[in-house]
Amino acid sequence: MTTVHPVRRPEAADSLPSAGDERSTAGRRADRARQIVGRTAPWLVRGVMGVAVLVFLLLAVGPHVFGYRTMTMLTDSMAPEIESGDVTVVTAIGVTDVTEGMVLAYHMPIGDGSLVTHRVISVEQAADGSVQIRTKGDANDEVDPWTATLEGDTAYQVRAVVPELGHLVTLLRTPVVNQVLIYGAPLLLATWLLLSIWRPRRSTDEDVEA
């Protein structure tokens, strides 16, 4: 009795497992982790540096170029429009242009004369030509217990609010963070440059035919 065995075509032959397939699961995970780090780290460094540059431009360069001032809100007296930790952007206007409804930043005429940012609820011109205002915080129940006289020819009106930026500014001013930035910024820059040059090399497995 003759037995006939089927003959497979060469292209249908089974491939033997390559040496590269013998890598452990841990090794494959390590390679994938390196690839993920290699892809995300540059963007993370770029993001941190981009935020730092924007904050610097807003707080240090902008006031000299565009003439505005920035102030950090310390209380919630103007919430929800302006909350504690927000940074306000104010610009100068003529004292005679002040009207009810404006939000002004001015020095209180009592106590230590600290800066306050409240809404104008009344404007009066005194006999000597000076402008006097009454103000109130949007979140306060009572009107401010003083009448403020706007000195000079200019007042400062709130034009924009940057939420939460004041918390970042306060953090950056702490001694520990200052030291980290002094020594960490060059390290971040060097890391960025190295990651821009280095790219994880992809390994390809070669099929071995029987």
CB 68 within 8 A of CB 156: no
Q: What is the pLDDT at residue 171?
A: 75
DSSP, collapsed to helix, strand or coil, labels residue 9 as coil
pTM of the model as a whole: 0.63
Spell out the domain ranges in the chain: 24-65+168-201, 68-163
Rg (CA), the chain: 33
Contacts of residue 160, defined as CB under 8 A and 6 or more positions apart, other chains included, come to: 88, 89
Which residue has better confidence, 195 or 80? 80
Cβ neighbours around 192 below 10 Å, total: 17
Structure tokens belonging to residue 120: 């104008």
pLDDT digits over 16-49, tens only? 455 555 556 766 777 777 777 667 766 776 776 6
Q: How does residue 4 score in pLDDT terms, banded at 50, 70 and 90?
A: low
pLDDT digits over 59-95, tens only? 788 888 889 999 999 999 999 999 999 999 999 999 9
Contacts of residue 105, defined as CB under 8 A and 6 or more positions apart, other chains included, come to: 71, 88, 90, 115, 116, 117, 156, 157, 158
CATH superfamily of 68-163: Umud Fragment, subunit A (2.10.109.10)
Residue 107's closest CA among 147, 70, 148, 78? Answer: 148
Mean pLDDT, range 173-185, rounded to an integer: 69
